[in-house]
């Protein structure tokens, strides 16, 4: 064989490699994901967790020491998903334990998430700051994920997604994307008061060295790092699945997600039961272990985030719901409520109920990509929009020793307020040298400060989509679309009437304030790769047309 043969052979091999790369990255990215997953280390069988035991006896009675603090976060739970606000399937799915947190405590009637997607919202909770102040603007995601969504959307009729391939070189691997170490997280702050901090569930704030919960102030962390996890293996006999074939995010998750968790950065292992029940049961054990010392618990359930998977027993209990997808979704919320109840029962059993501040909320509104139209009712919009449906969330605080029972707080309250409220409860000062956007809500709900003196703006940003809420007015600006919305949310809470062209003076005033706050935010730590259309008034099942009111969401 001569030199010509080898030249031709090398050229053919290079061409074949380039062709395979083109096919896997542009034509069949899910096949590439399957190949990557195949080579990932497999989780070990279940490893029992031994929680660190606190003192055998308390130094002070529970009522005389610093309060315990528990923050419970649901994942993509819509405003209408709890029966206090209406409930799934027109109230067929009851949530008595979640409802009781509101009826026995304080209902933050106008509760707003830190962002309209997972990671930035959680970052706001943990730092008390708009996540855009430190550049944590977008949810960490693999390039393949963004590419897959853009390719799928663009293969169907309707408005296209915009994929910025030219930015790929500026994006680090997703596991290196996280909250900067210069930010002070809540468990780090609470160390000043000798709190023992425990984290369970979804982290999604970085899993590189130095970014994990175990390295960000938590003494113990039973966590999974990505933005979602399987609830059980897909073919487990006790699980009922609902796949959304119309949704590229769902398709990606079923291929990519493992069923695993780890304790204190140890080996990944498989829980021994349905994930929601597993987290609830382990939270009970952690409460028992820490009953004699002040503790902070961050319990981050992944329900009802996709993939939609329900326990068969919960699914069977909702036989009155005919639609399969809705029934699976409702069963997931039934399990979520059951495990909130377990936590509250454990507090009572240990005599900790009165002097524990419990916060319950969702990281953002319900997602359009589950294809269920009523989950954020009566509000418009979804996760990945800054309309009320994307950021108006269930939000309750319960602390019988200090907060009034059955109170309703009507002033806008944000996830950024969790940090300052917890710090005040623990008696620790807020960190110096930075702007803290949140406030201690307890002073307002107890009457120590007049609620109408809480006059601060709330701000959200995702790329060129920016929003300001202040003094009853809400301004939304989409630079991609060249569009502005202005709503008087006091008079028009459902954002039906855009008055940007009639209330021009107010629009100009709000725009000036938005520009001022926007200029004080940091540059994103990494660029967005995709701008995708999201409809405001219907789930994204059949694509988004030009006639649909919509926004473009950057990530």
Instruction: Residue 128: give its domain's CATH number.
Output: 3.40.720.10
**Low-confidence winner among 6-20, 323-337, 541-555 (lowest mean pLDDT):** 6-20
Q: In whole angstroms, what separates CA 249 from the centre of its chain? A: 15
What integer pLDDT is reported at residue 1 of this predicted model? Answer: 54
Residue reference for tokens 């997703």: 174
CA–CA distance from 116 to each of 92, 150, 248, 379 (Å)?
A: 27, 19, 19, 14
Considering the domain architecture, whether residues 218 and 364 belong to the same structural domain is answered as yes
pLDDT class for 28, splitting at 50, 70, 90? Answer: low
Pairing state between β 262-263 and 295-300: unpaired
248 in any annotated domain: yes
Q: How many domains does the chain have?
A: 2
Q: Give residue-wise pLDDT tens across range 282-304.
A: 999 999 999 999 999 999 999 99
484 in any annotated domain: no
Give pTM, 2 decimals.
Answer: 0.94
What integer pLDDT is reported at residue 21 of this predicted model? Answer: 46
Q: Are 411 and 453 in contact (CB under 8 A)?
A: no
Considering the domain architecture, whether residues 25 and 72 belong to the same structural domain is answered as no
Q: Give residue-wise pLDDT tens across range 416-428.
A: 999 999 999 999 9
Q: Give residue-wise pLDDT tens across range 179-205.
A: 999 999 999 999 999 999 999 999 999
Please give the full DSSP string across 80-115, using - where no structure is assigned.
GGSTTTT-HHHHTS--HHHHHHHHTSEEETTEE-S-
Q: Give residue-wise pLDDT tens across range 336-362.
A: 999 999 999 999 999 999 999 999 999
Considering the domain architecture, whether residues 338 and 269 belong to the same structural domain is answered as yes
The b-or-e profile of 259-270 (16+ CB within 10 A means b, else e) is bbbbbbeeebbb
CA–CA distance from 153 to each of 530, 534, 541 (Å)?
A: 11, 11, 11
pLDDT class for 30, splitting at 50, 70, 90? Answer: low
Residue 355's domain comprises 41-157+171-463+524-554
476 in any annotated domain: no
515 in any annotated domain: no
Considering the domain architecture, whether residues 11 and 143 belong to the same structural domain is answered as no
| pLDDT over 60 at 5, yes or no | no
Strands (DSSP E) contained in 375-464 are 395-398, 407-409, 413-414, 458-462
| pLDDT over 80 at 257, yes or no | yes
Considering the domain architecture, whether residues 10 and 124 belong to the same structural domain is answered as no
Considering the domain architecture, whether residues 221 and 307 belong to the same structural domain is answered as yes
Question: What percentage of the chain carries pLDDT values higher than 90?
Answer: 80
Q: Give residue-wise pLDDT tens across range 485-520.
A: 999 999 999 999 999 999 999 999 999 999 999 999
What integer pLDDT is reported at residue 22 of this predicted model? Answer: 45
Mean pLDDT (whole number) for 156-177 = 86
| pLDDT over 60 at 312, yes or no | yes
492 in any annotated domain: no
What integer pLDDT is reported at residue 411 of this predicted model? Answer: 97
């Amino acid at each position: 064989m001569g030199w010509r043969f080898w030249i031709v052979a090398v050229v053919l091999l290079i061409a074949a490699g380039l062709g395979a790369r083109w096919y896997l990255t542009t034509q069949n990215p899910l096949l590439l994901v399957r190949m990557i997953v195949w080579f990932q280390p497999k989780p070990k069988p279940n490893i029992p967790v031994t929680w660190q035991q606190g003192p055998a006896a308390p130094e002070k009675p529970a009522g005389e020491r610093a309060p315990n603090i528990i923050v419970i976060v649901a994942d993509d739970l819509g405003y209408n998903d709890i029966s206090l606000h209406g409930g799934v399937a027109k109230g067929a799915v009851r949530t008595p334990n979640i409802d009781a947190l509101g009826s026995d405590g304080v209902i933050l009637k106008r509760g707003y998430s830190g962002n309209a997607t997972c990671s930035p919202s959680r970052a706001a909770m943990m730092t008390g700051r708009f996540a855009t102040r430190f550049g944590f603007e977008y949810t960490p995601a693999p390039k393949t994920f963004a590419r897959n969504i853009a390719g799928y959307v663009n293969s169907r009729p309707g408005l296209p997604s915009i994929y910025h391939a030219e930015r790929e070189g500026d994006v680090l691997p997703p596991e290196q994307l996280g909250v900067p170490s210069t930010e002070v997280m809540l468990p780090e702050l609470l160390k000043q008061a000798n709190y023992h901090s425990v984290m369970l569930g979804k982290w999604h704030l970085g899993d590189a060295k130095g970014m994990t919960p175990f390295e960000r102030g938590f003494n113990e962390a039973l966590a999974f790092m990505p933005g979602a996890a399987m609830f059980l293996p897909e073919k487990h006999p006790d699980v009922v699945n609902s796949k959304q074939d119309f949704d590229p995010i769902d398709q990606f998750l079923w291929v990519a997600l493992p069923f695993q968790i780890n304790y204190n950065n140890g080996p990944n292992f498989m829980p021994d039961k349905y994930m929601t029940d597993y987290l609830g049961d382990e939270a009970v054990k952690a409460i028992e272990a820490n009953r004699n010392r002040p503790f902070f618990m961050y319990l981050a359930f992944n329900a009802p985030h996709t993939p939609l998977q329900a326990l068969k027993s919960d699914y069977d209990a909702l036989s009155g719901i005919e639609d399969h997808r809705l029934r699976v979704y409702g069963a997931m919320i039934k399990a979520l409520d059951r495990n909130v109840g377990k936590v509250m029962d454990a507090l009572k059993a240990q005599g900790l109920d009165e002097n524990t501040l419990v916060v319950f909320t969702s990281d953002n509104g319900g997602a359009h990509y589950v294809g269920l139209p009523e989950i954020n009712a009566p509000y418009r919009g979804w996760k990945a929009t800054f309309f009320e449906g994307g950021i108006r969330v269930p939000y309750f605080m319960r602390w019988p020793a200090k907060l009034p029972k059955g109170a309703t707080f009507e002033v806008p309250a944000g996830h950024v307020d969790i940090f300052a409220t917890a710090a005040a409860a623990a008696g620790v000062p807020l960190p110096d040298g930075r702007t803290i956007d949140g406030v201690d809500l307890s002073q307002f709900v107890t009457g120590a400060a007049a609620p109408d003196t809480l006059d601060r703006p709330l701000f959200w940003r995702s790329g060129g989509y920016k929003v300001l809420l202040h003094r009853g007015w809400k301004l939304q600006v989409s630079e991609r679309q060249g569009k502005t919305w202005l709503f008087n949310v006091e008079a028009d809470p459902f954002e039906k009437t855009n008055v940007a062209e009639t209330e021009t003076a107010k629009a100009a005033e709000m725009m000036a304030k938005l520009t001022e706050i926007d200029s004080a935010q940091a540059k994103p730590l990494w660029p967005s790769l995709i701008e995708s259309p999201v409809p405001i008034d219907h789930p994204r099942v059949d694509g988004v047309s030009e006639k649909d009111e919509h926004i473009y969401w950057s990530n």
